[in-house]
Structure 1
Amino acid sequence: MAHDLTGGLTGTDLEGFHTGGDTECWRRLGAHELVLFDDERGEIHGTRFAVWAPNATQVRLNADFNWWTGDDMHLIPGSGVWALFVEGVGTGALYKYNVLGADGVWHEKVDPVGFFAEQAPNNASIVYSSTYQWSDQDWLSRRATAQPHAEAMSIYELHLGSWRKGKSYRELADEIVEYVTWQGFTHVEFMPVTEHPFEPSWGYQVTNYFAPQSRLGHPDEFRHLVDRLHQAGIGVILDWVPGHFPKDDWALGRFDGTALYEHADPRQGEHKDWGTYIFNYGRNEVKSFLVSNALYWVTEYHIDALRVDAVASMLYLDYSRNEGEWVPNIYGGRENLEAIDFLRYVNSHLYERVPGVVMIAEESTSFDGVTKPVHAGGLGFGFKWNMGWMNDSLRYLAEEPIHRQYHHDLMTFAMVYAYSENFILPISHDEVVHGKGSMINKVPQDSWRQFATLRSFYSFMWGFPGKKLIFAGCEFGQRSEFNEAVALEWWVSDLWGHRGLQLLFKDLNRIYRENPALWQLDSEPAGFRWINADDRGANTFSWLRSDEAGNQVAVISNFSSEPWTSYRIGLPAAGAWEEILNSDAELYDGTGTFGNLGQITATAVPWNGQPASATLVVPPLGTVYLRHRG
């Protein structure tokens, strides 16, 4: 029957794709195992292949089941989509599309909506139907009623391919769950798992947007990894890259001999710095493709949050361009209005469709309203990485302790704009690559001071408003830069300094989770109050964190090499304040000699604008947390 040639796919099925309203285009495009019914033969099992190539004059299906000789596909009238149903073909079949483009040249392409792909250097798409049975219903039910802004979020960012080099998704499911549970992080964030042939791109140059990388296993094995994390109570964030795509001639670029997914004008369609193409966000089919892709990972793989990479490069037409190398918008401005509309669309749609999902922006400028709701004129993200805080903090840490007094404001300035967005404080992979040095090697002086400074800084960070993110290896002070070609230097985590830092993170995460004052009001002024923001002479900062019930934690951080043995701070209440963290504890490879014997006692002596005060010991290059006991 004629419709069987296209597996029952019609132009009506594709109308939403062409209007930009098909947010599940993977159900129509790509390779799908189907059972068709024939009046004479009954059930016919096979696979329908469908690909959008509107400017092609001919498309053939090249596959292992036809000895790569090519079977002609059929153009569905008025759709620009070519389809073919092939009887007897199922999971595991290899295929590509051979596209005779508008330029008169044959282009062999992989499936833009392929669900699985060969390992590089091979690149054929693979027919794949999931048979995975999920066991994370309890997690999804809890997630649906979650309030992310008012909950604890400490994120462990990692690169799956090198966290423990050579491990598969299945092996990582055991090892990551065990380690992250022991360390106490609430979430993991995976650098992009979408298929990418060039390993040093870390996944940020994607060739197969719907396929998890095959180096580590099959798609259902990645589902197993996510499932295991959820069963352990750990959320999963995935890096998503809608900002650009690489120019590999077998992938999305010039797909049908024309600029199909990308802008034709290189002033709008290419990132010179990265050697990549930029999506044409104003094209309806591209919007359908990208919004569908975001929803696909969230629904088909149960991902809890998408961290959108390089948002600034999407927002600005002149991003990394000189005068005359970009095209202004219709109002003469530099904002990419089509990209802004697209981001609002994808954020709105995912929040509407998937209860509890979170969208996170890696956005490095002061663009207004990144985390404001779309209906209030914002972009609609849930969180934004605080790149300003990160840059300022790392500049401060790099200073010799004696010079930090002249750069004190670097550590306090973030509170000036703290409530302009909902922030995540990131110490990500970007800070420990390309000659920037590891975190420990950013800090001056000897090993003792380096480790002490890091312990103090991470304690400062965990006590500061905003959700937390660190990159794998930072938690045990790896000295080498991140290198995707080798595993993390796990062996050093048994050594002095490294082990102490790792144990500090374990306790930091426990204390953080146990004290809502450290996270419940992150995005509200009521959750934070400086005790003393101006003690630059002592390189010391102190503040209060509060929760909705009025419980309070005081944080005191000393970034000088001197101990302060009688340091007076104002406190909101008299009575006992328990020392719940001291980064100089012997357990963490500190001195163990500059503590407060478990608690201090505040008396009704006003200080720092507070009704009570106390003196305490603040260790050199150390941070102390105090919790009011009454």
Structure 2
Amino acid sequence: MDEADRARLLSGSHHDPHALLGAHPGPDGVTFRALRPFAHKVSVVVDGCHTPLHSEGDGLFSAVLPLDTVPEYTLLVSYDDAEYEVHDPYRFLPALGEFDLHLIGEGRHEELWRALGTEPMVHQGVTGTRFTVWAPNAQGVRVAGDFTYWDGTAFPMRSLGSSGVWELFLPGIGEGRRYKFEITTRYGARFLKSDPMARCTEVPPATASVVTASHHEWSDGEWMTHRADRPAHEAPFSVYEVHLPSWRPGLTYRELAEQLPAYVKDLGFTHVELMPVAEHPFGGSWGYQVTGYYAPTARLGTPDDFKHLVDRLHQAGIGVIMDWVPAHFPRDDWALARFDGYPLYEPGDTRRAEHPDWGTFEFDLGRREVRNFLVANAVYWCEEFHIDGLRVDAVASMLYLDYSREPGQWTPNEHGGREDLDAVRFLQEMNATLYRRVPGVVTIAEESTDWGGVTSPTDRGGLGFGLKWNMGWMHDSLGYMSKDPVHRRYHHNEMTFSMVYAYSENYVLPISHDEVVHGKQALVSKMPGDWWQQRANHRAYLGFMWAHPGKQLLFMGQEFAQGAEWSEGHGPDWWLLDPAYGAEADHRGVRDLVRDLNSVYREAPALWERDSDPGGFRWVVVDAAEDNVFAFLRFAADGAPLLAVSNFSPVVRHDYGLRVPEGFPAWEEVLNTDAARYGGSGALGPGPVRVGADGSCVRLTVPPLATVWLRPV
């Protein structure tokens, strides 16, 4: 062997080890060469005959056999403690096709997980695993794992042309084996990296990737068949946000599957939203600093275990939304950061690469392979795990070049503006691809600015999301509710301003985890007054929220008025629902209200059918600041009305006149947050409310700190 080739091979910097190792015909016969560090002896086995290879030192063994062609053969490798007959990885052709490489080069491989990473397979009649990784700046890449004692010397990978992809088929390696890629940079530095495309990982803080294959058989056919029957913005859509590791601490995916679907179904939510499930090294990040974009966190089980949870939720009639984090990734040296020794997934300009708020790297969305990595990831979760929607985190931080940056810390775009045009193109591509491939999917933007067209179609220049979190409504309404009722008259517009822009996008009204941590207090604790008034405010606010145009999202624990902030360490305070605590009129009453809100909501098209149509809403009382009263009508597509009245003062409003549509002589209460069974005062009794002589006005008693819904009898 040429000395230069030998040195490069042994140092892990050779681009084509298959040209040196394996079997190669020549004028004197077939040369066999194997690289087996720590082996005492290696023999070639052909038709049962063993021929020893000669040691060349440094774990290299070779011999020339007088053969005309390369035969079928195996290697017999002897170590101190055992002898193994194995297939030679260097006798196999590439297990990745030219079309895959072409799509990867174009940045258009929409099923990238089928091409990169690991794939257990039968190749040329032999069972093993294909290893592939994109590392275009590497001088060499090797596979290291628990099957090599984490030494990569024996298994250098080959570079597949100019694609930047490295490949190796390892016979006999199957599911459950742990591995990493050993990267050698252009300057000779060497380090281990976890697989960016790993579909399974070790349980953190361990960081190895794990070979896996799915064996889950889905049972959600009915759900998947009808998922696309109605678009999300025209359907009932109330979401229970969950942090899986702390919802019931200690439960696995499969144990959660026995409890979470039943709980959510009982409360009547249409969907759950799971805070990030993708693998992350630090639990305290709640999953928002992702290192394993293609792997569900191993803390709770295997990928198939997570599929089982999704399957059970679907069987219970509950959609599954997953938080997705394409805005940034952590700097851990074993993961994506400077993956092949150079900025690869992150921009080369450190000013652009480093996120100033979170100490993380941003993705280089101007690089087609990086966009492909993320777009395919969105498709992967929806197609492989039957996820019904992605809530995209921190969209605003992606859209603006100057996000959290001072002058001089950012460079304007080609037009001199602050918009990140690469991020815009990425989001458009992601949404367009996902909606084209996955019927019934919905994407939801967490976008906190006034960027126009977030939920407009991409062919009209919009970003293409299905829904957007209404951060303005959340901030304004919580600001209003935190005021003492005597001061709310001065903040009346904070509850009405949302209707100025309510139809500019398709909105979700979010009371998320972000609003109940870091000193912001739990929802009920934001409310003024004594404990009774806090709960009354809490209930009235939920009634107002469920009636307001837009979809609803409520974070776990808020459905029963947990008073303490959420902590990922112990999750919701379930003990508050224990009858021994006397919870019936307190926390259980609030949970009963949430159940009834969802029940009435789902059965009342007026509350969801025209969420994005201005004709589906009409103010009845908009300027009663002195009374702290708001009243409005919602209309279904067929014109059927529902009247919502909120009184955010602790004073009963007797004989309160409200103008209603003509033609409906009597109205009945369908929901009252002040009902005694919820812990209220029961100020408004049962029975219909009749319209006055003029045919268009009802007069009713409006309970204190309460929301009442009425509909025609």
Q: Say yes or no: TM over 0.5.
A: yes
Give the 3 Å change call, closer, same or farther, for CA 116–413 of structure 1 in structure 2. same
Q: Which amino acid is the alignment partner of residue 122 of structure 2?
A: V
Kept in 2, the 8 Å contact 1:7–1:36? The answer is no
By how many angstroms is 1:575 displaced? 1.0
Alignment pair present for 1:132 and 2:216:
yes
| Aligned-residue CA RMSD (Å) | 1.2
By how many angstroms is 1:104 displaced? 2.9
Give the 3 Å change call, closer, same or farther, for CA 91–616 of structure 1 in structure 2. same
Find the counterpart in structure 2 of residue 32 from structure 1: 119
Find the counterpart in structure 2 of residue 316 from structure 1: 400
Q: Secondary structure at the match of 1:225?
A: helix
Q: What does the per-residue CA deviation read over 1:198-224, in whole Å, with 9 as the maximum and x for residues that have no partner?
A: 001000000000000001001001000
Kept in 1, the 8 Å contact 2:508–2:550? The answer is yes
By how many angstroms is 1:532 displaced? 1.0
User: Which of the residues 59, 63, 67 maps onto 2:141?
Assistant: 59
Find the counterpart in structure 1 of residue 47 from structure 2: none
Give the 3 Å change call, closer, same or farther, for CA 6–209 of structure 1 in structure 2. farther
Gaps of 5+ in 1: 38-42, 606-610
Q: What does the per-residue CA deviation read over 1:450-509, in whole Å, with 9 as the maximum and x for residues that have no partner?
A: 000000000000000000000000001111111111131001124142111110000000
Judge which range, 150-159 or 104-113, deviates more: 104-113
Q: What does the per-residue CA deviation read over 1:28-87, in whole Å, with 9 as the maximum and x for residues that have no partner?
A: 0000011012xxxxx200000000001101111111112212121111111111111000
Q: Which amino acid is the alignment partner of residue 502 of structure 1?
A: R
Find the counterpart in structure 1 of residue 598 from structure 2: 509
Find the counterpart in structure 2 of residue 254 from structure 1: 338
Q: Distance in 2 between matches of 1:10 and 1:217?
A: 32
Q: Distance in 2 between matches of 1:534 and 1:137?
A: 50
Give the 5 Å matches for 1:334-373. Answer: 334-373=418-457
Q: What does the per-residue CA deviation read over 1:92-136, in whole Å, with 9 as the maximum and x for residues that have no partner?
A: 000000101234321210000000000111110000000000001
Alignment pair present for 1:603 and 2:699:
no
Find the counterpart in structure 2 of residue 84 from structure 1: 168
Q: Distance in 1 between matches of 2:141 and 2:199?
A: 20
Q: Distance in 2 between matches of 1:146 and 1:19?
A: 35
Q: Distance in 2 between matches of 1:145 and 1:397?
A: 37
Q: Distance in 2 between matches of 1:9 and 1:583?
A: 61
Gaps of 5+ in 2: 1-21, 24-89
Q: What does the per-residue CA deviation read over 1:336-394, in whole Å, with 9 as the maximum and x for residues that have no partner?
A: 00000000000001101111110100000000000000111100000000000000011
Q: Distance in 2 between matches of 1:283 and 1:616?
A: 63
By how many angstroms is 1:4 displaced? 5.7
Q: Secondary structure at the match of 2:656?
A: strand
Find the counterpart in structure 2 of residue 537 from structure 1: 626
Kept in 1, the 8 Å contact 2:223–2:315? The answer is yes
Q: Which amino acid is the alignment partner of residue 227 of structure 2?
A: R
Kept in 2, the 8 Å contact 1:511–1:580? The answer is yes
Q: Distance in 1 between matches of 2:100 and 2:246?
A: 42
Q: Distance in 2 between matches of 1:12 and 1:565?
A: 74
Kept in 1, the 8 Å contact 2:266–2:595? The answer is yes
Q: Secondary structure at the match of 1:491?
A: helix
Q: Which amino acid is the alignment partner of residue 603 of structure 1?
A: G
Find the counterpart in structure 2 of residue 151 from structure 1: 235
By how many angstroms is 1:603 displaced? 2.6
Alignment pair present for 1:186 and 2:276:
no
Alignment pair present for 1:456 and 2:527:
no
Alignment pair present for 1:265 and 2:354:
no
Kept in 2, the 8 Å contact 1:497–1:588? The answer is yes
Give the 5 Å matches for 1:10-49. Answer: 10-37=97-124, 43-49=125-131
User: Which of the residues 651, 658, 674 maps onto 1:584?
Assistant: 674
Find the counterpart in structure 2 of residue 447 from structure 1: 531
Q: Distance in 1 between matches of 2:491 and 2:228?
A: 44
By how many angstroms is 1:11 displaced? 4.5
Q: Secondary structure at the match of 1:537?
A: coil
Q: Whose RCO is larger (CA < 8 A, sep 6+)? A: 1
Q: Distance in 1 between matches of 2:189 and 2:653?
A: 74
Q: Distance in 2 between matches of 1:166 and 1:302?
A: 25
User: Which of the residues 466, 483, 492 maps onto 1:399?
Assistant: 483
Q: Distance in 2 between matches of 1:532 and 1:491?
A: 40
User: Which of the residues 365, 372, 375 maps onto 2:459?
Assistant: 375
Q: Which amino acid is the alignment partner of residue 132 of structure 2?
A: A
Alignment pair present for 1:142 and 2:226:
yes
Give the 5 Å matches for 1:103-122. Answer: 103-122=187-206
Kept in 1, the 8 Å contact 2:100–2:109? The answer is no
User: Which of the residues 555, 577, 600 maps onto 2:644?
Assistant: 555
Kept in 2, the 8 Å contact 1:5–1:83? The answer is no
Percent identity over the alignment is: 53
By how many angstroms is 1:6 displaced? 5.9
Q: Which amino acid is the alignment partner of residue 612 of structure 2?
A: S
Find the counterpart in structure 1 of residue 150 from structure 2: 68
Q: Which amino acid is the alignment partner of residue 250 of structure 1?
A: W
Kept in 1, the 8 Å contact 2:134–2:166? The answer is yes
By how many angstroms is 1:12 displaced? 4.0
Runs of 4+ residues over 4 Å off in structure 1: 1-7
Find the counterpart in structure 2 of residue 40 from structure 1: none
Find the counterpart in structure 2 of residue 608 from structure 1: none
Alignment pair present for 1:281 and 2:365:
yes
Q: Which amino acid is the alignment partner of residue 569 of structure 2?
A: A
Give the 3 Å change call, closer, same or farther, for CA 475–90 of structure 1 in structure 2. same
Q: Secondary structure at the match of 2:502?
A: coil
User: Which of the residues 201, 224, 244 maps onto 1:160?
Assistant: 244
Give the 3 Å change call, closer, same or farther, for CA 4–300 of structure 1 in structure 2. farther
Q: What does the per-residue CA deviation read over 1:215-268, in whole Å, with 9 as the maximum and x for residues that have no partner?
A: 100100100000000011000000000000000000000000110001111221
Kept in 1, the 8 Å contact 2:104–2:163? The answer is no
Q: Distance in 2 between matches of 1:135 and 1:144?
A: 18
Kept in 2, the 8 Å contact 1:11–1:79? The answer is no
Q: Distance in 2 between matches of 1:117 and 1:21?
A: 26
Q: Which amino acid is the alignment partner of residue 640 of structure 2?
A: N
Q: Which amino acid is the alignment partner of residue 410 of structure 1?
A: E
Kept in 2, the 8 Å contact 1:4–1:36? The answer is no
Kept in 2, the 8 Å contact 1:195–1:209? The answer is yes
Kept in 2, the 8 Å contact 1:242–1:290? The answer is yes
Q: Secondary structure at the match of 2:589?
A: helix
Q: Distance in 2 between matches of 1:169 and 1:508?
A: 28
Give the 5 Å matches for 1:286-297. Answer: 286-297=370-381
Q: Distance in 1 between matches of 2:228 and 2:490?
A: 47
Kept in 1, the 8 Å contact 2:280–2:287? The answer is yes
Q: Distance in 2 between matches of 1:328 and 1:4?
A: 52
Q: Distance in 1 between matches of 2:439 and 2:562?
A: 38
Q: Distance in 2 between matches of 1:32 and 1:415?
A: 52
Q: Which amino acid is the alignment partner of residue 60 of structure 1?
A: R
Q: Distance in 2 between matches of 1:298 and 1:6?
A: 32
Q: Distance in 1 between matches of 2:608 and 2:176?
A: 47
Find the counterpart in structure 1 of residue 710 from structure 2: 626
Q: Which amino acid is the alignment partner of residue 602 of structure 1?
A: V
Alignment pair present for 1:525 and 2:609:
no
